[in-house]
A and B are shown apart, each in its own frame.
Chain A
Amino acid sequence: MIKVLSREFIFSLVLVSALSMSAWAQEIPFDPSVPVNPNPSWSPAPNSLEPAPPDESEIKSELDAMPAATPIPVTPATNQPRKRAELSGLGTLAPFSDIAVINKRFLPKTKRFEFFPNFGLVMNDAFFNNIVFGGRFGYHFNEHYGVEALATGFSTTSKTVTSELNSERFVGTAALATPTSYYGLDFKWSPIYGKVGFTNTKIVPFDLYFLLGGGVTGTNQGTQPPTLHLGAGQLFAITQWLAFRWDISWFAYKSDTSVTSRPSGTFTNLHGTIGMSFFFPGAKYR
Chain B
Amino acid sequence: MKLILAVVFAMNIISIVARSEVIEFPEEELARESVTPIFDQPEAVKKRLSPMKSRFELGGFSGATLNDPWFNSYPLGVTLNYHFSEMHGIGLLGAYFISGRTNYVGQLQSTVSAGNEIPFERAPAPKFLGLLEYEFTPYYGKISITKQRVMNLTIAGLAGVGLMGVASNVQSDSSVSFSLGLSQRFFFTRNFGIKADIRTLFYQQEDVVLRTVQKTNFVNVLLTVGAVYFLPSL
A interface residue numbers (CB < 8 A to B): 6, 9-10, 13-14, 16-17, 20-21, 23-25, 98-102, 123-127, 160-161, 164-165, 168-171, 175, 191-204, 206, 208, 259, 261-262, 270, 272
Contact = CB atoms under 8 A, between A and B. Distances in A.
B205 to A, nearest CB: 12
Contacts of A200: 43-45, 86-87, 140
A209 B9 CA distance: 83
Nearest to B11: A17
Interface residues of B, number: 54
Given A127-B69, A169-B117, A198-B139, 15 more contacts: A6-B1, A13-B5, A13-B12, A20-B15, A25-B20, A101-B150, A123-B66, A126-B68, A126-B104, A161-B69, A169-B114, A171-B108, A192-B144, A206-B141, A262-B107
Interface stretch (B124-132, B158-166, B167-175, B207-215): B207-215
Contact of B209 (A164, A199, A206, A270): A164
Interface of B: 1, 4-5, 8-9, 11-12, 15-16, 18-20, 41-45, 66-69, 86-87, 102, 104, 107-108, 111-112, 114-115, 117-118, 138-145, 147-150, 153, 155, 198, 207, 209-211, 216, 221
B138 A168 contact: no
B139 A191 contact: no
Which of A23, A98, A200, A201 counts the most chain B CB atoms within 10 A? A200
Nearest to B68: A126
Contacts of A261: 111
Nearest to A103: B144
A275 B148 CA distance: 31
A14 B4 CA distance: 10
Contacts of A191: 145
Contacts of B221: 123-124
B95 to A, nearest CB: 19
Contacts of A262: 107, 111
Nearest to B4: A10
Contacts of A98: 147
Nearest to B136: A199
Contacts of B207: 160-161, 164
B31 to A, nearest CB: 23
A253 to B, nearest CB: 16
Contact of A13 (B9, B118, B141, B142): B9
